Amino acid sequence: MSIELKALGKEYTAGNWVLEDVSAHIESGEFFAIVGPSGCGKSTLLRMIAGLIPISAGELQIDDQVATNLPPKDRKLTMVFQSYALFPFLSVTDNVAFGLKARKFPADEIKKRVDKAIDLVNLNEFKDRKPRDLSGGQRQRVALARAIASDVKICLMDEPLSNLDAQLRIKMRTELRNLQRELGLTVIYVTHDQVEAMTMADHIMVLHNHEIQQIGTPLDIYNRPANTFVASFFGTPRMNLLPARVEADKELLLANTLKLSVPEPLPVADYVVGIRPNALRLLPQGAGEPNAQVKTVEYLGSEIILEAELADGTPLELVAAAKDQYNVGDWLSVAIDGQAYVFDHDGQAQFMVEGGTRHATGNHASVQA
């Protein structure tokens, strides 16, 4: 059951497009995540695919059939919402079994699927309870179990784990993913959580500013971000973005402080250079010119996150070894030691440099292809 989005657009009010030109191919059996900040249109896109709101522009295909104007019940999909949408008068078991009974599945098949789904979401103890006697998180797990137990091969999920506590959420990520694989479900999964998308998805669509910023595998998105938005949205701590200008033939000067050698001369222009905290090295005292001052120190146990400021005031995040001691106000010598991403003035990826070698980075068109 593949899904094709062809230049989908949505305007809620005339002339006000909240989504434009959204195109993607979602393979049968794939886990496809839609990620982006609050208000970027993730739920809107999912609701258009589900048929809950009309599609304003473009075409939707489900399993090679045009589905743009099909009523929701004919789209061969199920949906798990952030809100639970359960029948209050039915027990957990009956809620989960409802769709299967309506479709006249054999009783033993229903029992097998329902038991498995309830077990998966850890609700064995609560099988006979009504939704009102469950916590919010438990209700969401019932909704999840109902979708899992259904025979439908496409499941749309809108932040389904966001009401669960942190520990259960992490456990559910793996279990949901395993079950999705086992059942061969095609899942479209909306989340604002980049870690959830990175750990669960086969492909990720990044939405921002009404349009797709990039589509790619988690590795593509992390290692070959198409622009500064994607680069700084993925990864903790975030990628540092530093203003840069051409200083010499094959050299960029970042934040008036750090030098970056590039393999070929660059056109004279303004650039932005992105460096993840783990690609910055702290030199031992006396080994280099002090160039950054510590502003905050955050001990995480296994490592230390330092927020520093370069000499010209540009903020810089660094990761340091837990055994070392840092104090606010200390001066550090920081050097680039890893990947540096060069973006143009508008934030579009140009290339990546590592050890003096140039590597291709992503862009929307090439990564989609």
- List residues near ligand ATP by CB under 6 A: 12, 18, 36, 38-44, 192
Q: In what order do the strands lie in the sheet with 16-26?
A: 16-26, 3-13, 57-62, 65-66
Q: How far is the CB of 169 from ligand ATP (least distance, A)?
A: 16
The residue among 205 and 349 lying less far from ligand ATP, judged by its C-beta, is 205
Closer to ligand ATP by Cβ: residue 193 or 303:
193
Give the list of residues 6+ apart from residue 118 with CB closer than 8 angstroms, or none.
92, 93, 96, 124, 127, 145
Query: To the nearest whole angstrom, how small is the minimum distance from the Cβ of residue 16 to ligand ATP?
Result: 8
158, 81 Cβ separation under 8 angstroms: yes
Rounded Cα gap, residues 101 and 107, in angstroms? 8
Q: Measured from the CB atom, is 22 or 336 closer to ligand ATP?
A: 22
Quickly count: other Cβ atoms within 10 Å of residue 219's Cβ. 9
Tokens representing 283 are 């030199």
Q: How far is the CB of 126 from ligand ATP (least distance, A)?
A: 28
Tokens of 147: 């979708």
Residue (38 or 357) nearer to ligand ATP, CB: 38
Cβ atoms within 10 Å of 58's Cβ, excluding its own: 18
Q: Pick the closest to residue 84 from 142, 133, 152 (CA basis).
A: 142
Q: Compare residues 83 and 296 and give the one whose CB is closer to ligand ATP.
A: 83
Nearest distance in Å: CB 234, ligand ATP:
16
Smallest separation (angstroms) from ligand ATP to the CB of 8: 13
Cβ proximity to ligand ATP, 39 vs 54, nearer residue: 39
CA dist 46 and 176 (Å) reads: 19
Nearer to ligand ATP, 3 or 292 (CB): 3
Q: How far is the CB of 206 from ligand ATP (least distance, A)?
A: 12
Helix (H, G, I), strand (E, B) or coil at 64: coil
Q: Which two tokens stand for residue 112?
A: 């097998």
| Nearest-approach distance from CB 146 to ligand ATP, in angstroms | 22
User: Which one, 229 or 326, has the nearer CB to ligand ATP?
Assistant: 229
- How would you list the strands of the sheet with 331-336, edge to edge? 280-283, 331-336, 292-299, 303-310, 315-321
The least distance separating ligand ATP from the CB of residue 82, rounded to whole angstroms, comes to 8
Q: How far apart are the C-alpha atoms of 176 and 171, rounded to whole Å?
A: 9
Dihedral Cα 89, 90, 92, 96, nearest 10 deg: -130
Closest approach of ligand ATP to the CB of residue 263, in Å: 39
Distances (CA, A) of 224 to 214, 322, 360: 10, 29, 8
Nearer to ligand ATP by Cβ, of 38 and 327: the residue is: 38
